[in-house]
Amino acid sequence: MLRRLRQTLHIGLRARNGTAAVEFALIAPILIVIYWGLADLSLGIMANRKTAHLAATMGDLVAQSESLTQANVSDIFEIGTSILEPFPAGTSLQMRISSVTRNKTTGVIAADWTPAPSKNWKGTTTVDTKGLTTDQLPAGETLIITEVIYDFTPPIGKFLPVQTTFKSTTYHHPRSGAVIPLKP
């Protein structure tokens, strides 16, 4: 009798046909969603970092120059689209470079130049200088302002209407110590 009870219990404990499949069917969708979410999150972080890097690089290139032309600015914008790779630039990438100077006597900040921004610029036409402090821009000095806006659509955006906008603004002082003129 005891032997029979052991056999019955042993068979009952061994008989797990389909249990693993049912557990997998319950857990798999959750794991897939987590995996896809983490993949999209990592791509978003990478796009945000590339946007910030792009703004810093463009500003640094301009700050190293002694003078600029619109052709130089166009070349810098082309470099910008290559820095953003593997993300598509297309209409999602907007770039603008400006130069501002604080007047020595009045202390008023005015734009020296703002060449034509990238072809799909949707931002304001005026340079925002309201947040600049006297620490960032002392009287008589010039500051290069680089603005980059990138509309990132993660892979899940093909199925759901998801889009995130990354914006980066950087400030650079000219390396030559003077105003960088924009020549025609």
Q: What is the pLDDT of residue 55?
A: 95
pLDDT band at 12 (very low <50, low <70, confident <90, very high): low
DSSP string over 74-121: HHHHHHHHHHTTTS--TTTEEEEEEEEEE-TTT--EEEEE-----TT-
Give the tokens for residue 31.
């794991």
175 SS3 class: coil
Residue 10: is its pLDDT beyond 70?
A: no
pLDDT band at 2 (very low <50, low <70, confident <90, very high): low
Q: What is the pLDDT of residue 178?
A: 76
Give the tokens for residue 121.
């610029």
Of 58-62, 87-91, 177-181, highest mean pLDDT:
58-62
Contacts of 179 (CB under 8 A, 6+ apart): 99, 101, 112, 142
pTM over 0.85: no
Q: What domain count does the chain have?
A: 1
How many Å is the Cα radius of gyration of the chain?
28
Mean pLDDT for 11-36 is 80
Give the tokens for residue 145.
């302002």
- Per residue in 137-165, pLDDT (tens digit) is 888 888 999 999 999 998 887 777 888 99
Mean pLDDT for 62-83 is 90
- Per residue in 108-130, pLDDT (tens digit) is 888 888 887 877 788 777 787 77
pLDDT band at 133 (very low <50, low <70, confident <90, very high): confident
183 SS3 class: strand
State how far the alpha carbon of 139 is from the alpha carbons of 22, 93, 113, 168, 182, in Å: 72, 33, 18, 25, 21
Least confident range from 21-35, 56-70, 105-119: namely 105-119
151 SS3 class: strand
Domain that holds residue 90: 2-183
Give the tokens for residue 57.
């690089």
Q: What is the pLDDT of residue 8?
A: 61
How many angstroms separate the CA atoms of 104 and 139, rounded? 5
